[in-house]
Amino acid sequence: MGRKNRTEVKSGVPKTGDRTEGPEFRRILLLSHEMTYTGAPNSLLNVARVLRRHGHRVTVYTLADGPFKKEFHRRGFRVRILRAELPRISGGRYDLVIANTIFCGRQAQELQEKIPTLLYIREAQNLPDIIRDCNLDEAYVRYAYYPVCVSAYAGRFISRTYCPERLWMLPNFLIPPLLFRPGENRIRGGKVHFLIAATIEQRKGIAVAAEAMNLLSPAAAERAVLDIAGRKPEWARDYWEELKLEENPGIVYHGEVTGHRKKRRLFRNANVILVPSFDESCSLTALEGAMYGRALLVTENVGANYLARGGGLIVPTGSAKALAEAMEFLIENRSLLGEMGRQAHENFCRMASADDYYTRLTEIFRKIREEQR
């Protein structure tokens, strides 16, 4: 498939509107780089569920096997391991491919010559480091026919750094459980619980949050708990060993959380969802916090910080002092947390719903189809 009349579409976010009758691109293949309990595979599962709900036939491949595969299976999706399957994929079996993350960039570059392929770029300012450290090629981004990013924050960086001829934006979304209710934001035991749910690595800013805890006044420190849940990857061993989370007073490390019940319990017991990241293209943790009706405390470099407008606080990235001041404000003004959580939930319903996502996605499908004619 060649490129026809390619023109730049800067952050082309179509607004919510009427849906097309019947699905464009009925047979869709989703390609994941791995099957871990991390944000990217989680987001891809949500995409699979929405596509199936709207009548698309969904096939899932992954470059690497992993435990998260069982979550796809639990939702009725078989996951195949990609080995030497590209010729079959491009042989008329599918109408469109969605390649998830830059780690699928090589496959996307090969497939886009034969079949419409969205390269779903879920990275932001960490993209150059990933490309360098993992021996990838920036051409995967620069020359992608249909690249998609997940936030305006990520889009600005990608456009400025790699200058793709177009870049669409599809913000992350979540599908709430059936009969879901946000739940009341209760202060338990007189302490405000701040929750970080993230992989324990430098980019997530966990050391900044730990330092902020040490900067709290004695009175505030007595009323604060920092709960941390997340995987400790081997490649970040130096970082998390130096943190010594289990030995830090005021911090409770819950380990990697994979079960849905325990995860729900963590979010429901939290009062504030904290995302102190140096770079977060569109935080699923922030979306989950807003979905649960929790106040948000996020940095300027979190692509989903629009959920915190009225629903929490936004602080400068990397500043332990600013973070500590914000935490103290929330501790001293605990009566505001309920209203902040309600506003965060309203923001979630307006800007992170599955219906709005599908409307945006089908508008992209329509543009691709028009270009093919």
As a whole number of angstroms, the distance between CA 303 and CA 121 comes to: 13
Answer yes or no: is pLDDT of 18 > 80.
no
As a whole number of angstroms, the distance between CA 37 and CA 261 comes to: 15
Q: Which residues contact 182 (CB under 8 A, 6 or more apart)?
A: 291, 292, 293, 341, 342, 345
Task: Give residue 79's pLDDT.
Answer: 97
Q: Are the folds of 27-173+353-372 and 192-351 the same?
A: yes
Burial of 251 (0-12, 13-18, 19+ CB in 10 A): buried
Answer yes or no: is pLDDT of 372 > 90.
no
Of the candidates 373, 367, 372, the one whose C-alpha atom is nearest the C-alpha of residue 20 is 367
CATH number of 27-173+353-372: 1.10.10.10, 3.40.50.2000, 3.40.50.2300, 3.30.428.10?
A: 3.40.50.2000
Q: pTM for the whole thing? A: 0.84
Task: Give residue 271's pLDDT.
Answer: 97
As a whole number of angstroms, the distance between CA 235 and CA 219 comes to: 37
Task: Give residue 1's pLDDT.
Answer: 42
As a whole number of angstroms, the distance between CA 312 and CA 218 comes to: 23
Q: What is the rounded radius of gyration, in angstroms, for the C-alpha atoms of the chain?
A: 21
Percent of the chain with pLDDT over 70: 93
Backbone dihedral angles phi then psi of residue 192, each to the nearest 5 degrees: -90, 120
Topology at the third CATH level for domain 192-351: Rossmann fold (3.40.50)
pLDDT in tens, 59-80: 999 999 999 999 999 999 999 9
Enumerate the domain spans of the chain. 27-173+353-372, 192-351
